[in-house]
Amino acid sequence: MLKQFLACAMALGAATAQASGPSAEVIHWWTSGGESAAVKQLANAYRAAGGTWIDTAIAGGDQARAVTLNRMVGGQAPTAAQFNISKQFLDIVDQEMLVPLDDIARQEHWDTTLPEPIVNAIRIEGHYYAIPMNIHMQTWIWYSKAAFKKAGISKEPATVDELFAALDKLKTAGLVPLAHGGQAWQEHILFASMLANMGGRQLYLQVMRDRDQRAINSDAVRKVLLAYKRLQSYVDPASPGRNWNDATAMLVSGRAGVQIMGDWAKGEFSNAKMEPGVQYGCIPGLGANSPYLIQGDAFVFPRSDRTQVQQAQKLMEKVLLAPATQVSFNKLKGSLPPRSDADTSQLDACARAGAAIMRDRNRQVGAPEIYLTPDQNGAVQDALTAYWNTSMPVEKAQKALAAALRN
């Protein structure tokens, strides 16, 4: 009886300790099947460390960030919130609404272990303000092995011309050649893919980073715009408004052949129990030296005077940066751990291919959001989606793109 009493007392004490541990409300937009499975890894790790994870999942990045910002302004900020690794949180840094993370950055040697585009996005005026959770590459080319077989495509496309040839064969076979969600941000990804694969690192950076008007108005960019618009002839009529994961589902079912989307799409394949190289293929770029457009997700911590919140944030920092947490999360998310010293041997074949490319710093460039402010990015998206969805001449589209990138 005494042993039973002591065992019960110990169990009750452990439960009480866990219940009284740090409690963290986390706002994020990881709501698709693969994303939900990945974020559970973070929640489980936080709970295992003695904390309580309160999950506030809001579909859509824009909506989730709006809720976060409104709550911060209203004095009801979450413990942590997801943002993209970009210029999205510049305003709240300027208003001193975020906790600086310089101690963690110094301990973990972020200045040398993180890719330069990531460092430049999360380090503002010498201080770090976000914990990077992953590295996403936006312009992977995914394809259904079953669809390719049905269309008689035996060779993986290695150039833009070969990609269009494959799309033509898929159309002839009665399949949807290009699975696409008709949303502005997805159309921006298609343009970035054409710009990177046709123009290479130099033209891509001239346009997106330098906003060089001579380059933007060049014949090379005109050809990129024409190739981008050509892709529109391969999507199905139901494309407008479709979510990205619903487009991925078209590849999972074999109804469509190709999707150009970030490596978060891989989480959907994994959730469907599909293996890279078996049921689907992944192409990181068309050409041996094509730039690898990286971005990613990060957590920021709103400032709080409450000791309990500060303790919860400190525990989150420790848990989120743990190597085991980073690997288990990214295995399901479809992305890469942000640290160059992370063990990627447990990741799938597509992720390992991406990790190999990341070892070449010359191929590392930021996704458009790394270089553009939210206003600039929005203006570019508006110009591209108007061109995509109308009969706008390429000359007018090129002028609209130049105007969007003039400021």
219-243 pLDDT, tens per residue? 999 999 999 999 999 999 999 999 9
Compute the average pLDDT of residues 35-45: 94
Are 368 and 145 in contact by the 8 Å Cβ rule? The answer is no
CA dihedral 222, 384, 68, 91 (to 10 degrees): 50
Using the structure block, give the residue that is written with the tokens 């409300």.
25
Q: Let me know the angle formed at the C-alpha of 79 by 84 and 33, rounded to the nearest 5 degrees.
A: 55
> What pLDDT score was predicted for residue 6?
36
Q: Flag whether pLDDT at 200 surpasses 90.
A: yes
Closest CA to 386 of 215, 225, 254, 159: 225
pLDDT tens across 113-146, in order?
889 999 999 999 999 999 999 999 999 999 999 9
Q: Flag whether pLDDT at 18 surpasses 90.
A: no
Class of domain 24-135+296-340: alpha beta
Compute the average pLDDT of residues 268-280: 92
Closest CA to 290 of 201, 225, 203: 201
137: its two tokens: 């590459």
**What's the CA gap between 93 and 122, in Å, rounded?**
10
Compute the average pLDDT of residues 314-343: 88
> What pLDDT score was predicted for residue 20?
60
Residue 373's Cα: distance from chain center in Å?
17
Compute the average pLDDT of residues 179-194: 96
**What's the CA gap between 333 and 298, in Å, rounded?**
13
308: its two tokens: 């309990």
Are 272 and 252 in contact by the 8 Å Cβ rule? The answer is yes
Q: Let me know the angle formed at the C-alpha of 72 by 68 and 73, rounded to the nearest 5 degrees.
A: 120
> What pLDDT score was predicted for residue 17?
39
> What pLDDT score was predicted for residue 15?
41
- 305 pLDDT band, cuts 50/70/90, is very high
Q: Where are the alpha helices (H) located in 217-264, listed in sequence order?
A: 219-231, 244-252
Mean pLDDT of the chain: 92
For residues 345 and 310, the model is more confident at 310
| 24-135+296-340 and 137-294+366-404 in the same fold | yes
> What pLDDT score was predicted for residue 14?
40
Longest dimension (CA), the chain: 86
CA dihedral 110, 113, 119, 122 (to 10 degrees): -50
The backbone torsions φ and ψ at residue 9, rounded to the nearest 5 degrees and listed phi first, read -65, -40
pLDDT tens across 84-108, in order?
999 888 999 999 999 999 999 999 8
Q: Which residues pair with 136 in a beta bridge?
A: 295
> What pLDDT score was predicted for residue 331?
87
Using the structure block, give the residue that is written with the tokens 């070449």.
360
Q: Flag whether pLDDT at 270 surpasses 90.
A: no
Are 118 and 127 in contact by the 8 Å Cβ rule? The answer is no
Are 57 and 112 in contact by the 8 Å Cβ rule? The answer is no
Q: Flag whether pLDDT at 351 surpasses 80.
A: yes
- The pTM (predicted TM-score) of the whole model is 0.84
307 DSSP assignment? H
Q: Flag whether pLDDT at 366 surpasses 60.
A: yes
Residue 266 gets the label, from left (phi > 0), alpha (psi -120 to 50) or beta, of alpha
In CATH, 137-294+366-404 is 3.40.190.10: yes
Residue ranges covered by each domain of the chain: 24-135+296-340, 137-294+366-404
Q: Flag whether pLDDT at 8 surpasses 60.
A: no
393: Cβ contacts below 8 Å, ≥ 6 apart: none
Are 116 and 361 in contact by the 8 Å Cβ rule? The answer is yes
**Percent of the chain residues topping a pLDDT of 70:** 95
